[in-house]
Amino acid sequence: MSNEYKQGTLSMAELSPIDPQELLAAGELPQHIAVIMDGNGRWAMRRHKPRVWGHKKGVNSVRTIVEAAVELGVSALTLYAFSEENWQRPPREISAIMALINKYLDLEIERLREHNVRLLTIGELSRLPLATQRKVAYACEYLGDCSGLTLTIALSYGGRTEIAGACRLIAQKVAKGQVRWEEVDQGMVNDHLLTRGLPDPDLLIRTSGEQRISNFLLWQMAYTELWFTSVAWPDFSKQNFYQAIAAYQLRARRFGKTEQQIRSLPRVESPLACVSPDG
């Protein structure tokens, strides 16, 4: 990686291509990367095509980025494929997205297995069409014993609903006398989220120029590094993915501690252990 890049004196467009081997040598990789795959519709409209065309092209980017994550040895990749709010879209667009998800699972399941990819989903799956529910359940089962990349697809997912669900489960346990209210803490909330067992994302990538979180992994992203790009999801390439990781590697993650404390630690501790108001 060039010194100009490290010093921030070069823009992304002026950068020479990033070699993934350089990334591996440059520092720690983010272990869990979350992605808001935005901009499919606008990308298609700019080309005078229907919005669904953009989603179709977006599936190619899904393939590319899953492959890049596998090649780099990233542990977890979570893709925001369909939000709770997306149910408000025109029924035809919703059906087309569901059909693309079905097709992706049909076509990719063997390749995912060859790459040792474990598949998980988060969200209110019961709202999905039955065919999609069945395909998702089969794929998660089929890939359940894979031990490489954990690929989580967020489907009919909303962060606030997820947190409310965790509260409901804990309240039930308190009501039944299985848990005392004084015992409710961050760890317990974590264990009742849909993402239980997954580490918090280290890096969030959002494509297409918007700079917001849009109800994605609200609890889990308390200390996530955010990286935004104007590139639309259908154009998002391995090089863009490497750029996000290279930018992440230049960030100083302090989790509320001082720089001196961080330097004297062999490895950064869990963010939950050291939450402070000044980030």
Catalytic residues: 38, 86
Distances in Å between the Cα of 5 and the Cα atoms of 11, 16, 150, 244 are 8, 10, 31, 13
| Residues between 145 and 164 with contacts to ligand FPP, criterion CB under 6 A | 153
Tokens of 6: 């490290």
| Binding-residue pattern over the window 110 to 149 for ligand FPP, x denoting contact by CB under 6 A | ----------------------------------------
Task: Name the segment binding ligand FPP (CB under 6 A); options: 13-21, 27-35, 37-45, 248-256.
Answer: 37-45
Say if residues 161 and 194 touch (Cβ distance below 8 Å): no
Task: Name the segment binding ligand FPP (CB under 6 A); options: 52-60, 166-174, 187-195, 259-267.
Answer: 52-60
Task: Please count the other Cβ atoms lying within 10 Å of the Cβ belonging to residue 71.
Answer: 13
Binding ligand FPP by CB under 6 A: which of 32, 34, 55, 202? 55
Task: By CB under 6 A, tell whether 34 contacts ligand FPP.
Answer: no
| Binding-residue pattern over the window 171 to 210 for ligand FPP, x denoting contact by CB under 6 A | ----------------------------------------
Question: What dihedral angle (degrees, nearest 10) is formed by the CA atoms of 22, 20, 152, 209?
Answer: 90
Q: Is residue 78 helix, strand or coil?
A: strand
Q: Residue 174, class by beta-carbon neighbours within 10 Å (0-12 exposed, 13-18 middle, 19+ buried)?
A: middle
Task: By CB under 6 A, tell whether 239 contacts ligand FPP.
Answer: no
Residues in Cβ contact with 47 at an 8 Å cutoff, skipping those fewer than 6 apart: 53
Alpha-carbon gap, residue 193 to 157, rounded angstroms: 12
| 201 sits in which H/E element | none
Residues in Cβ contact with 213 at an 8 Å cutoff, skipping those fewer than 6 apart: 36, 159, 204, 221, 226
Q: Which is nearer to ligand FPP, 39 or 201 (CB)?
A: 39
Residues in Cβ contact with 148 at an 8 Å cutoff, skipping those fewer than 6 apart: 70, 115, 116, 117, 118
CB of 248 to ligand FPP, least distance (A): 22
Task: By CB under 6 A, tell whether 215 contacts ligand FPP.
Answer: no
Q: Which is nearer to ligand FPP, 79 or 244 (CB)?
A: 79
Task: By CB under 6 A, tell whether 66 contacts ligand FPP.
Answer: no
Task: Name the segment binding ligand FPP (CB under 6 A); options: 76-84, 164-172, 192-200, 263-271.
Answer: 76-84
Binding ligand FPP by CB under 6 A: which of 30, 58, 158, 201? 58
Pairing verdict, β 76-83 and 118-122 = unpaired
Task: By CB under 6 A, tell whether 38 contacts ligand FPP.
Answer: yes
Task: By CB under 6 A, tell whether 109 contacts ligand FPP.
Answer: no
State the residues that interact with ligand FPP by CB under 6 A.
37-42, 55, 58-59, 62, 79, 81-82, 86, 97, 100-101, 104, 153
